[in-house]
Chain A
Amino acid sequence: MKTTAVNLDERELVLPGNRMCPGCALSLAYRHILKALEGKVVVTVPASCLTVLHGMYPVTSVTVPCVNTPFATTGASASGLVAGLKAVGRKDLTVLAMAGDGGTHDIGIQALSGAAERQTDFIYICYNNEGYMNTGNQRSGSTPLGAISGTTPVLGKQQNHKDMTAIMEAHGIPYVATANACYPLDLYDKVRKARSIQGTRFIHVFSPCPPGWRFPFNDTIRIGQLAVQTGWNVIYEIEDGVFRLNSASEQIARSGKLRPLIEYIREQGRFKNITEEQVSQLQTSVSERWKHYLERAGITAPAQENRD
């Protein structure tokens, strides 16, 4: 049965009145991630926006057990929860590690890689708002070329971002996927699917950030969906090595074409200093990557690429 807003469980595990910015995509994503796990989960969270969503002692805004852990340790903390629960004979909880792009691509990459290599039985979700947003937007390994941030304030970021999902695919884990907070039904389905898979499962969730990316906070969904329509964010999954495009990315692959990347870039204040050359570079890499994904998905459809 197809998941819809109508048949989706109405129980809310994230309580209103928390500290997230208006229009926060993480907040939206987290609602649906916890719904998909029916709350039978222990979440481990490093320093991140999610820490702040969870509240301040002695009050939390989340109704599932949670273990906060230092910034670099998310993968290790999850490994400890898995080992500890196993040691005491418990099988009732999914261990969910949920970190931002900083805690995943940068400071947390070692622990995540180690956990994956050990085939640790947990779900790791990286919500990617393309910067260290909790501390006011400093550049991370996932910040795009040309983006302004607190630590790239004048020139914008000079390097391309890391493809963390490809790095996780290289670990040979049974389930690797990308999702987008602005396509919540696909995200829900993926977490639900991941729940029943054994081993390390990695889901990368694209999470637009109004204050960090500088767009109005009522625009979050439109921006997040525009990222998919222009090919900046591609929604796919790799299950036991089999690559599939999903959701809007699959629809575009079969019957549409990507919109020019500039339509996405010009909506965001963080790209106000981006150069034409950088835009062109990004467009080229998006187009080439899209071609590559189409090949992997075995989809040949009418004219996919945009010409500049």
Chain B
Amino acid sequence: MNMRTRDCGHICGESSPSIGEAGATGEWRTSYPVIDPDRCTPARQNKPACFQCWLFCPEAVISKTIPIQIDLRYCKGCGICAEVCPTKAITMVEEGNSTSD
């Protein structure tokens, strides 16, 4: 049988890691998180602190950097970061609405 897939070399179901296995999951969401740097503790103190949003993000799309970055290609817009932020620095903005960011 002429198999186009023989080149992959697999004889069993052997998978390799990659980001975005389910595609650009950012397309799932209806709202996205926006961080207010005037409220965000690490941003205000300009040193590692808090990072509750990073801790609780189920998707691992938030980085422990200053300023905090969120990978919007994959953020599913669950809104957990906004809920857990102790200073209410994160707002969920509806897709299609621009912000004054």
Contact = CB atoms under 8 A, between A and B. Distances in A.
Interface of A: 5-6, 8, 10, 12, 14-20, 22-25, 27-28, 31, 54-63, 182, 184-185, 217-222
Contacts of A55: 15, 21-22
A27 B50 contact: no
Interface in B15-60: 15-25, 28-29, 48-52, 54-60
A59 B21 contact: yes
Contact of A60 (B21, B25, B60, B61): B21
A55 to B, nearest CB: 4
B56 A27 contact: no
Interface of B: 8, 10, 13-25, 28-29, 48-52, 54-61, 63-64, 71, 73-80, 82-84, 92
A54 B21 CA distance: 9
A22 B29 contact: yes
Contacts of B83: 218-219, 221-222
Contacts of A185: 55
Given A5-B52, A59-B21, A12 B60 contact: yes
B21 A23 contact: no
A25 B57 CA distance: 9
A25 B58 contact: yes
B22 A15 contact: no
Contacts of B77: 22
Contacts of B48: 6
Nearest to B49: A6
Contacts of A6: 48-51, 64
Contacts of A182: 56
Contacts of A20: 58-59
A55 B15 CA distance: 9
A126 B82 CA distance: 28
Contacts of A222: 83
Contacts of A219: 83
B51 A15 contact: no
Contacts of B51: 5-6
Nearest to B63: A10
A59 B58 contact: no
A217 B25 CA distance: 15
Contacts of B24: 17
A23 B49 CA distance: 24
Contacts of A15: 17-21, 60
Contact of A59 (B15, B29, B79): B15
A24 B15 contact: no
Contact of A8 (B16, B21, B55, B80): B55
A59 B54 CA distance: 25
A18 B78 contact: no
B18 A61 contact: yes
Nearest to A15: B19
Given A24-B58, A28-B58, A218 B17 contact: no
A10 B69 CA distance: 13
List of 3 A-B pairs having minimum Cβ-Cβ separation, nearest first: A218-B79, A17-B20, A22-B78
A224 to B, nearest CB: 10
Between B19, B24, B54, B57, the greatest number of chain A beta carbons within 10 A of the residue's beta carbon is seen for: B19
Contacts of B17: 15, 59-63
